[in-house]
Chains A and B, each alone.
Chain A
Amino acid sequence: MSRRQVEFFFSFRSPYSYLAGPRAFALADRHDVDVVFRGVIPMAMRGQSVPMAKRLHTLRDVKREADRLGLPFGRIHDPIGDGALRCLLVAEHARDAGRVREFVLGASRAIWAEAVDVATDAGLRGVCERAGLDWPACAAALDDPGIRARVDASTERLLELGHWGVPVFTLDGELFWGQDRLEDVERALAR
């Protein structure tokens, strides 16, 4: 019988995805389950506007949640645009290289807690190398249409599931939206 899978839909532009990352990947450490990373293009880059009130609330709420979870948050460099896309492309390469967890956690921390501009080669390279990735291979992934197609496919899959935001987790056909729903995922895994 094949192992159960948790799909983890993630955006580098989503601070809630950043909060979810460590616990989401850790599911595989505690349960007999594979965590499958699915990086998606941010809502704001898919033509969906986010009102100012929502953006402000998100920052304040994430700060409270980050404090509760013991994660650093606040030295921000918003990666919307090239930065978010470049991270998504490198994340696909990192999956192939077996370093997706290290890269995703490192990159999201760099964006939301260390103010690293991942749209620059200097910024992204440092993140890649800290994750144990070879920079020339990462740079090649940025121009690889096959890698880009995988990002688009993950984004499409989220839409096919009828969902809109991130982070989202799927398990056995059930869908969970929000970093604070990981405890429900855990409960479902224990069933």
Chain B
Amino acid sequence: MTPRDRLQRRVVPRLVVHLSTVRAPARAAALLRRAAGRADTVRLYVAYDDPYSAVAVLGLTDRLRGRRARLLIEPVVQRGIPGDPAVEAKRRYAVVDARRLAARDDRTLTRSEPLRPEATAFLAGWTAAIGDPVRRAAFSAAAMAQLWCASSGPVDRAPFAALWDEHVGGPPPADDGGTALPAERGMRLRRLYDTPVAVVHGQWFFAHERLPQIEHRLDELAGRAGA
């Protein structure tokens, strides 16, 4: 085995795994946060055309209720691995799979066909326009529920405008989602490549399939779980 081979096959993977188990800095930061009266945060990158994002937003909204943790919604449209040959197959499979994941939380997805990103891009634009994170999270949860659990077929903007009025007030912004979103840059900077990703103080998770693990991470930061 060449030194390069040894490095790639053994040393680097072991190092990555080992470093991922270092908990002390995040715990110390969590202690300081609590001492300063600040909450933990779950920063969740979502796409409205992604049924997994619906599972994640709705699941985390339920699970963070009553916890000292804030859900920060980061809406995106563009994401994924560039040149991924399986992107369309993944889109179709995601609807089937998300239906099963939603059932774990006693939810039923009403859509059986994938949505195109451009069909829901306006929702990402609207969500990004909400500055207050609490209202943003509330609007996002309501919009995801409307989109994936209460409608089917082509996306009609009217019910979402009503949700905007309820959660934010007034008419929705003119933004139709055609412009690049700040969260897309944030994803690239963090080397996150797909949705829904939850970033929880130094660790990240594909949130739709790691909801209990995210809760565990928050417990760990709060000193309520073993390492």
Contacts and interface: CB of A to CB of B under 8 A. Distances in A.
Interface of A: 48, 51, 53-54, 56-57, 59-61, 63-65, 68, 73-78, 80, 115, 117, 162-164, 175-178, 180-181, 183-184, 187
Contacts of B85: 48, 164
Contacts of A53: 191-193
Contact of A178 (B13, B90, B209): B209
Given A115-B10, A177-B97, A76 B191 contact: no
A152 B17 CA distance: 32
Given A78-B13, A175-B93, A181 B100 contact: yes
Interface string B16-41: 11101100000000000000000000
B86 interface: yes
B185 interface: no
Given A51-B81, A63-B21, A68-B213, A177 B93 contact: yes
B112 interface: no
Given A53-B191, A64-B213, A162-B89, A181 B20 contact: no
Contact of B10 (A59, A78, A177, A187): A78
B20 A59 contact: yes
Contacts of B213: 64-65, 68
Contacts of B97: 176-177, 181
A177 B209 CA distance: 12
Contacts of A187: 100
B89 A61 contact: no
Given A57-B204, A164-B86, A181-B97, A75 B192 contact: no
A61 B85 CA distance: 24
A59 B17 contact: yes
Given A77-B9, A162-B89, A184-B100, A60 B16 contact: yes
Contacts of B13: 59, 76, 78
Given A164-B86, A175-B93, A177-B93, A78 B205 contact: no
Nearest to B94: A177
Nearest to B21: A63
B151 interface: no
